[in-house]
């Protein structure tokens, strides 16, 4: 019998609240207000991606949200000197290192940890030394998992994009990666492209303890409101977990 980790946390990614705000250049809707609404509806933490081009979340959003909420904040960031400085200054609970290409619409693939071990190792060490829990956003493959463990990352976030696009065999690939990650001592998170319709099988993976979900929830907020969308997501996640 496989034991499930007891809790499964939901991190709500609020980037696209900032996307809508920035479309008009004003202050509404405020990502901080959205973060507070998501937490009040049952989110366990807030995730935000400070991209190098600042296309959605901006530096002042990170600072305001860090100052105003006590729930865990997960800062997604590229492994650059600038982002490392900002992470050390704002000390989020967690930082998730992601690949970043300026032309991409969203984070398209996982970080190539296996190919960039020596560049990533000091970034992981510096974040850990600042008391920030580091995760690496990777494709769900053994070489990436082994490289993540080898450079001392305590957490990996498995990229669920290919699963969300309906790729055949992708759920099995995620399941094998979660198992392998746990056997390497890595805490396993997952995210990208998750919706009310596809979250169940990922939430059921026993080694996965956190899901980070953004675009769908913010889109759904237009249709049913953010609190309702978050509550439904949490309920679906919990329903996928065996009791006990
Ligand atoms: N996790 C990571 C590391 C991401 O980069 C993103 C997208 O910003 C997400 C989760 C959330 O993906 P989505 O917005 O598709 O739910």
pLDDT tens-digit map of 159-189: 999 999 999 999 999 999 999 999 999 999 9
49-91 pLDDT, tens digit each: 999 999 999 999 999 999 999 999 999 999 999 999 999 999 9
Ligand 1 and 107: CB distance under 6 A:
yes
**Stronger pLDDT, 106 or 124, i.e. the higher one:** 124
* Ligand 1 pocket check for 220: Cβ under 6 Å: no
Residue 147 banded pLDDT, cuts 50, 70, 90: very high
Are 90 and 66 spatial neighbours (Cβ–Cβ below 8 Å)?
yes
Ligand 1 lined by 9 (C-beta under 6 Å): no
User: What pLDDT sits at residue 3?
Assistant: 56
What's the pLDDT score for residue 1? 47
Q: Give domain status of residue 170, yes or no.
A: yes
% the chain with pLDDT above 90 = 91
Cβ-based neighbour number of residue 161 at 10 Å: 19
**From the CB of 96, is ligand 1 less than 6 Å away?**
yes
CATH of the domain at 57: 3.20.20.70
Residue 71 is part of which domain span?
9-240
For the CA of 217, the nearest atom of ligand 1:
16
Distance 26 CA to ligand 1 centre (A): 24
Residue 169's φ and ψ, nearest 5 degrees, are 80, 0
pLDDT band at 2 (very low <50, low <70, confident <90, very high): low
Instruction: Tell whether the model's pLDDT for residue 102 goes beyond 80.
Output: no
Number of domains in the chain: 1
Judge if the beta carbon of residue 45 lies within 6 A of ligand 1.
no
Is the pLDDT score of 148 beyond 60? yes
pLDDT tens digit string along 15-27?
999 999 999 999 9
pLDDT at position 239 over 70 = yes
Among 25, 82, 72, residue whose Cα is nearest residue 50? 82
For 51-61, how does the pLDDT look when each residue is reduced to its tens digit (9 = 90+)?
999 999 999 99
First to last CA, the chain: 13
Read off the pLDDT of each residue in 222-238 and give the average, rounded to a whole number: 98
pLDDT at 103 over 80: no
Residue 1 lies in a domain: no
| pLDDT value of position 243 | 73
| pLDDT for position 101 | 75
Residue 33 C-alpha to ligand 1 middle, in angstroms?
20
Best residue among 12, 55, 106, 153 to mutate for probing ligand 1's pocket (most ligand atoms within 8 Å of CB) is: 106
User: Does the pLDDT value for residue 4 go beyond 70?
Assistant: no
**Buried b or exposed e, range 127-148, using 16+ CB within 10 angstroms:** beebebbbbbbbbbbeebbbbb
C-beta of 13 in contact with ligand 1 (< 6 A): yes
Q: Is the CB of 139 under 6 A from ligand 1?
A: no
Asked if the structure places residue 87 within a domain, the reply is yes
Q: How far is CA 116 from CA 50, 111, 144, 171, in A?
A: 21, 9, 10, 26
Residue 182 lies in a domain: yes
Q: How far is the CA of 129 from the centre of ligand 1 (A)?
A: 25
The reply to whether 4 falls in a domain is no
The pick from 15, 98, 190, 214 for probing ligand 1's pocket by mutation, whose C-beta has the most ligand atoms within 8 angstroms, reads 214
Structural domain contains residue 142: yes
Quick one: average pLDDT of 212-231? 98
pLDDT (0 to 100) of residue 108: 73
- The verdict on residue 2 lying in a domain is no
Residues taking part in catalysis = 49, 76, 192
- Look at residue 190 and give its three-state secondary structure: strand
* Residue 149, in any domain of the structure: yes
């Amino acid at each position: 019998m496989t034991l499930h980790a007891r809790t499964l946390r939901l991190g709500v990614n609020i980037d696209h609240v900032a996307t809508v705000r920035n479309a008009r250049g004003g202050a509404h809707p405020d990502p901080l207000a959205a973060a507070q609404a998501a937490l009040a509806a049952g989110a366990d933490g807030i995730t935000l991606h400070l991209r190098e081009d600042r296309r959605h979340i901006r530096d002042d959003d990170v600072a305001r949200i860090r100052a105003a909420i006590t729930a865990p904040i997960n800062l997604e960031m590229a492994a650059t000197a600038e982002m490392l400085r900002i992470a050390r200054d704002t000390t989020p609970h967690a930082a998730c290192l992601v690949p970043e290409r300026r032309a991409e619409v969203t984070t398209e693939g996982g970080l190539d940890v296996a190919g960039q071990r020596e560049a990533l190792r000091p970034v992981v060490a510096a974040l850990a030394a600042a008391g920030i829990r580091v995760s690496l956003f990777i494709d769900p493959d053994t070489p990436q998992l082994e490289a993540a463990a080898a450079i001392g990352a305590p957490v990996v976030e498995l990229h669920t994009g290919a699963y969300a696009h309906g790729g055949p065999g992708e759920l099995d690939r995620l399941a094998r990666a979660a198992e392998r990650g746990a056997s390497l001592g890595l805490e396993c998170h997952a995210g990208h492209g998750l919706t009310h319709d596809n979250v169940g099988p990922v939430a059921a993976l026993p080694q996965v303890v956190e899901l980070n979900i953004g675009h769908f929830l913010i889109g759904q907020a237009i249709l049913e409101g953010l609190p309702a969308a978050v509550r439904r997501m949490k309920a679906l996640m919990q329903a996928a977990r065996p009791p006990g």
